[in-house]
Amino acid sequence: MLKDNLFSNLIIPIKGENFTEILTCKNVIIERIVSSNKPDNIVYNQEHDEWVILLQGNAKLELNQEVINLKLGDYIFIPKYTPHRVISTSHESIWLAIHIYPDQIT
């Protein structure tokens, strides 16, 4: 049994984001992301699908050259090979991300 609290042991970065892997099972990785209010200018274009929900704060993403505003509780599905980046976040924004791979992770 795995028991913990998503809001405990937060590492709040000065810049960018902090990624904490919570669970890996078959073809899925679940991670917690804690954002600073100074995002890195990284464009992600992943070989897997991703579903994210914003649990605290607010954020602005660019997804396929479209700007998307997210607030507490908003979630979004990002299909594989979809260019996306974080434009802005409020300090201490907390996300839950589920990465869905086509094959089992070894």
- pLDDT tens-digit profile, the chain (106 residues): 578 899 998 988 999 999 999 999 999 999 999 999 999 989 999 999 999 999 999 999 999 889 999 999 999 999 999 999 999 999 889 999 999 999 888 6
Residue 42 lies in a domain: yes
Residue 65 lies in a domain: yes
- Domain span at 37: 17-100
CATH number where 41 lies: 2.60.120.10
Residue 81 lies in a domain: yes
Q: What is the C-alpha to C-alpha distance for residues 74 and 19, in angstroms, rounded to an integer?
A: 19
Residue 58 lies in a domain: yes
Structural tokens at position 42: 């990284």
> How many domains does one find in the chain?
1
Residue 105 lies in a domain: no
pTM > 0.75:
yes
> Which stretches of 11-104 are assigned E, i.e. beta strand?
17-25, 28-35, 49-56, 59-63, 66-70, 75-78, 84-89, 93-100
Burial of residue 11 (CB within 10 Å: 0-12, 13-18, 19+) is exposed
Residue 22 lies in a domain: yes
